Structure formats: structure tokens, C-alpha cells
Amino acid sequence: MTAPLTNDKIAALATPFGAAALAVIRTSGPDSVAAVARLTDRDTVVSATGGGRLRKVNILDPASGQVLDEVMLAIYREPRSYTGEEMVEIFCHGSPPGIQQILTLLYRQGFRAAEPGEFTQRAFLAGKLDLTRAEAVQEIVRSRTAQGHDLALRRLGGSVSAAIEEAKQRLVRLMAPVALQLDYPEEETGEIPFPVEPVRELREQLSTLAGSYRTGRLYQEGIVLVLAGRTNAGKSSLFNALLKEDRSIVSATPGTTRDYIESSLDLGGVPVRVYDTAGVRVTGEEIEGEGIRRTRQVLEAADLVLYLVDGTVGIDEEDREFLGRGTRLLPVWTKSDAPHCLPAPESFLPLSALTLAGLDRLVEEVLTRVTPEQTYPEGSPVIDSLRQKNLLEAASQSLLHVEEGLAAGVPIDAIALDLQEAIHALGEITGEVTSADILEQVFTGFCVGK
């Protein structure tokens, strides 16, 4: 993605392309209002409209005078807009042919198709957003649960940027005695004691913020949860119980599930991709055998495997072999409501997918297994950007070098270099220090029109 030009106009559909009641087309750039006005039946009125106003107009084809749509225009004047430039948002009917006609007219008026994330990139370059808030915009769009949305909204509100700015200011204050000793040698000023404890405290705070990445990614990206076990262990029944709908066929006939079935759900705010898999057994049937092969592929990608054992049958050697494979397993003892169900072994969670007895406890245990041990108070910043995590760790590492350098009595100019590197890393997080490569990394993953 190239950096946006300051003298060009961009346009893009900001809503999904498809039949809908409404669609929104965004435009931004110098003289956007006048350019859009020329496509309406109220050219003079629209051109003279102040920012923050709506106008109801007809969109016309300038060549034929034909009315293409009746729309609402939202007018924004520089600098009081999302991008800091003149903007017009066109609220039209969600007809794909109509949308395409309006976009074609805009391109003829000198607009070009916006690149992914270009509106937000212009907002960043105009100083409307720092990079942490820009990244939060995309995180809000990608949120799959209310918890993930709330955390991203908190970042958009500035929780991360405020924490970074506070840390940076503390580092600048720590630089003061170092700068003084560099400017005025020890013979003139005497040795000025350096405050070591604030460095340690700040390093720990930055490390904690970097550690929040696991929580942020959990609620944004979620987990892969796989239901496994022998045939007729109750996998499809549990799959349906988790989804609260009959998605998977439940039958007493072994081998009913020939391929994995997948679906999405919200488990305590965590986005979960859950898979019901074919029962693993030795079979000469070709289709079922292919389903078992695919099951093994899904198992390799799982964050957590619920291994189900039929409580009315008990554990056999195949179950023992599977349960001994690793730590990403949670054993479940199914059909606990059956009259002839055997007592659940100590490590198993009893469950009845029929009565749902034990389901709440199972969900609680799943969340315990996948949720990081570190908790964060309500309102505290939580990051969801690998870029931010890496830079926070770099700043923390530089501060560790400061501590080690002070303990070893290294020269003050080396201490100053480590402090500067920490400040530089924090500046990269917010975009105060940036490059074209960083912008490419941040904005190319955005939707077109955002």
C-alpha cells in the first residue's frame, strides 16, 4: 500500500457489497464536497453546505441527466472529519447495480478507488488517531464476541496510548539526570544518583502490558475446540448441546459422522471454532476412513481437545493410548444420566448431553484451560497487536539493560543509549516514530472503506 497523496480524492464502499436496505459510500480528499455536488440535482446547495449537515438529493448521470438514486449526503468539512479532510458519505439504497453506477460516476469526477485502510491511514497522518487507535479500528471490525468488541473499543478510546504516553513521559524524566551528567562532567557537577527503582517498576509495567497480548488475542482470535473419541461416545450430542441447535446427526449407528462438522460459538466471551469429528476406529470403509484421516488433521490444529468416553462402556486400550498423548486434552465421561453408567474416573468430567447435567462445569473448565492466568482489572489496557507486543518487549529489555548497567557500573553514555532505545520503541507503538514499512504492515489488513 502506498502512502496516500495529499491532493487526490478517494472513494469506496464502506458496507458489504450485496443487496441490502442501505449502503454507504465514503469519499475523502480536497474538494470532495464540490465533486460530489456536481453529481446531484442540488449542486449549489450541497456545495455551500457546512460540515456536520445532511442533505437529501438525487444522484444524476451528468451525461444523460437520468436519476440514478435518491440518497442522503453527510457533509464533513476539513479538519472536522474522520480523515481530517473534506469528506462526503453517501447513504444510498443497497442495490448492487446502483452502488456500482454511483462509484463509476465518482471515478469519472476524479476520485480513485481507496486502498484497504486508506481512510484510517489518512486519519493517522492527519493526527486524528495514533497507531494504537488505528489498529483498534480494525480490531473492532473483526470482533466476534461482545468481550472482544469491548476490549477493542477500550483501545480505540485510548487506554493503550495513554499507558504508553505515561511510560514515555516517565522515561523522559529519567533521562534528565543522565543528560545533565553528559552535558556537565562529573568534575563540575559531582555524581548525580540515578533512580534505579523507577526503572524496575516501569520495566515490570511494560512487561505486564506486553503479557496482556495473550488475553487480547484470545478474545479476538479465539480458540479451536475439537470433540474427539471413539464412535458413539456422544460427540455429536455434545456438539449440538454447545451450539444449542441440532447441527450434527445423532445416531446409535457407529460411523454416522463421516467428516468433521464445524461451527462458531461464543463461550464466555471467547470466540470458539468447534469441531465434531469422526469417531476414531479401525475401519475398512473408504469414506469413513477418509473422515478419520481428516479428524487427525483437525486434532493437530486444536487448542484444546475434549476427549469423550462412553460412560456405559468404559475405557479401552485405544482410549488410554489417545489420552496419553499430551496436555491439550480434557477427558469427558459421557452418558452420565444412563442407568448403567460406570463411575467417572477422577480425571474425567461427567456429562449428560441429554439432560445437560455437567455442561456448565465443562464450559467453565474449558475457559479455565484456555484463559491466561494473568488477570487485568476492569478498564486496564489489554493489547491485541503482535507489533505492539514486540515493541513493548523491546522497551522492557532496554530497561533491563539499564538496570544491569547501573549494577555493573557501566559508563553513563551507555545508560543513555539504552534509555533512548526504550523511548524509541514506545514512540514506534503510537506512531510518533514510524516508517512506510510500519504503515504498510498496519493498514493493509484493513477493509476497503475503513
pLDDT at 188 exceeding the cut of 60:
no
Q: What does the mean pLDDT of the chain come to?
A: 87
Whole-angstrom CA distances from 185 to 123, 188, 410 are: 45, 6, 15
How confident is the model over 207-228, as pLDDT tens digits? 999 999 999 999 999 999 999 9
In the sheet that holds 223-229, the strands lie side by side as: 261-267, 270-276, 223-229, 304-310, 329-334, 349-350
pLDDT classification of 307: cutoffs 50, 70, 90: very high
* Whether the Cβ atoms of residue 81 and residue 127 lie closer than 8 Å to each other: no
pTM: 0.82
pLDDT classification of 51: cutoffs 50, 70, 90: very high
How confident is the model over 80-110, as pLDDT tens digits? 999 999 999 999 999 999 999 999 999 999 9
Residue 253: predicted pLDDT: 46
- Euclidean distance between CA atoms 34 and 44, whole angstroms: 9
Which amino acid, one-letter code, is at 53? R
Residue 450: predicted pLDDT: 82
Whole-angstrom CA distances from 349 to 288, 324, 333, 361, 363 are: 28, 17, 6, 8, 11
Whole-angstrom CA distances from 157 to 129, 130, 143, 353 are: 10, 11, 16, 42
Kindly state the helix (H) or strand (E) to which residue 272 belongs, with its residue range: strand 270-276
pLDDT at 250 exceeding the cut of 60:
no
Q: Which residues contact 440 (CB under 8 A, 6 or more apart)?
A: 1
* Better-predicted residue by pLDDT, 41 or 278: 41
